[in-house]
Structure 1
């Protein structure tokens, strides 16, 4: 009896030591997790997602709640995973190991996170994103699967691989297209996948693709405010990081075209957004309430000037996020107002 008691006591002690070891090697507070995935930047994917759902309800009078929730979870998980991957490889590949970007901005350094902890978080988020992505495909069709796989691949390759997209001049293009356009399109499509917007049918070794060119053009036009806004967030980030990126061998768009041209592009992308609002109204795609968004130009122009005066990651980069939120929240409010009053 004594031996039995001692053996079980030893086993309990071994289990305790094992779990203490596991806990020690997986220390991650909620605050550290939110910093690792940069939760404040998730607006860049949630706003296009919400815009697509609003447009589907306004234009097609369709809304599928279950598909909405499934895509929300999958999208949020892949977005957080992509950011964590980006922070992990920035940490691994950093040549300059001091300053705001390295010591304060990167959660792995700031909170002294173990690499194994970060990898577990990334794998977990990817698994969640894939599981809910498959569920969304089963609820819809192969168009969602194809665009989902393509989006997942670009999200991962943005920070991973021999030449990550974020280290090339194409970061703004890919982030704008996939976050600002593809997310909006998918967010519309999951509500109208059985309609005539886009379909793919394989029968007797014949693949038929049909699409409504007008509706796809409309989705492109309504996506310009999110496309340009997200591209400008990436562009502002890269403008602020020019010196650090040169040291870390990240050859981004501002390094290729120069700071002066990059700043001109930054301003131009905002002007295109406001021109798009006028086009959307004149073509009758969206109602007169859309013109309310024109009034956001006043604070947006002030924010643009703040960034033109000084390009600082710590102090002025935030204006690109403020502009994105301000423009697109007003934009969505104008659509919601019309949808409610229909």
Structure 2
């Protein structure tokens, strides 16, 4: 398989959606807990990247297998299996190799941390596979935005924080006699959840924009996504509302001093974000306007990341 075919199969450009929450969680751990574990960061990075490629390749493979409409941009150009005439055995081999690497590094990460990482990893792997595989995959239901937003936005961010502070008991699972105890530092977990909201909403909107652009094709291919259930107009309203939620969240995070007040400067990016929203509202196609959802995600989370990184410079100097 040629490199360009592989990169198209796994849609390498979309991997930024999982890498951004990883970086956000890492910088959050440095800022709030003054800690950075290089080995754990490398392990989670490799495992996450490979598994993200697995889920994308699986999704493209099953879209190819289940497609009822076998012409048009989404089938002939967007899917690498069709565009580059990739043989099914080769595609399956690539998927299994990537999965093996993801599992291997995930196990190494568990060995280097604790049972919470293993349980979160198993749950994430299960959802990732169920997203495309099975008689009723998540991607063909009106739940894709919820699952992708929660797992890629919050779970990845949480895991990115946790691998650095696994020994500080913000979440712990212990067996005492015949009793199993799950202990949570509720405040810290809620803070991480609130911190991840921009990533959650941004990733959910990438999925939502994708499904809005594909309404007609999805109906022909029997993919009953959220925009098909609620209608295009309500889906566009939801698309816009999720961005405004992220800005309200950033303000509240600053008010409660979860992140520094300098993070309020992120509100400036509302200007280009609003412009992109308006452009997407005028026209919704995968080829022409889908990219605005990706740009908004990178703009908001990029501003959040840079501003938190600036506030963490003194911690970084001490750590390195």
Which residue of the partner structure matches residue 8 of structure 1? Answer: none
1:267 aligns with 2:240: yes
Task: State the partner residue of 1:50.
Answer: 23
Q: 1:209 aligns with which of 177, 182, 191?
A: 182
Give the TM-score normalised by structure 1. 0.91
* Distance (whole Å) between structure 1 residues aligned to residue 203 and residue 167 of structure 2: 30
Q: Which aligned pairs between 1:214-253 and structure 2 lie closer than 5 A?
A: 214-253=187-226
Secondary structure at the aligned position of 2:182 is classed as strand
- Deviations 1:205-236, CA, capped at 9 Å, x for gaps: 21111111100010000000000000000000
Give ranges in structure 2 of 5+ residues lacking alignment: 316-320
Q: Deviations over 1:307-336 (max 9, x none)?
A: 000001100000000000111111100000
CA distance in 1, matches of 2:137, 2:197: 25
- Listed as ranges, the gaps of 5+ residues in structure 1 are 1-27
Alignment-derived partner of residue 128 in structure 2: 155
Counterpart check, 1:33 vs 2:2: no
Q: If you compute each CA radius of gyration, which structure gives the higher value, 1 or 2?
A: 1
Q: Alpha-carbon deviations, 1:84-142, whole Å to 9, x = none?
A: 00000000000000001000000000000000010000000000000000110111111
- What's 2:301 paired with? 328
Could you say which residue in structure 1 is the equivalent of 2:146?
173
Select the structure with the greater relative contact order (CA < 8 A; seq sep ≥ 6).
2
- Work out whether 1:311 is the aligned partner of 2:284: yes
Moved >6 Å (runs of 4+): none
Residue 318 of structure 2: aligned partner? none
Q: Which residue of 2 aligns with 1:280?
A: 253
The equivalent of 1:137 in structure 2 is 110
Q: Once the 2 structures are TM-superposed, how far is the Cα of residue 196 of structure 1 from its aligned partner?
A: 2.5
DSSP 3-state at the match of 2:142: coil
Q: 1:4 — aligned with what? A: none
Q: Does 1:200 align with 2:173?
A: yes
- Deviations 1:265-307 (CA, angstroms, capped at 9, x unpaired): 0000000000001000000111111011100000000000000
Q: How many residues align?
A: 315
- Paired with 1:131 and 1:203, the residues of 2 have a C-alpha distance of 30
TM-score (normalizing by structure 2)? 0.98
SS at match of 1:209: strand
Q: Say which SS state the counterpart of residue 42 (structure 1) adopts.
A: helix
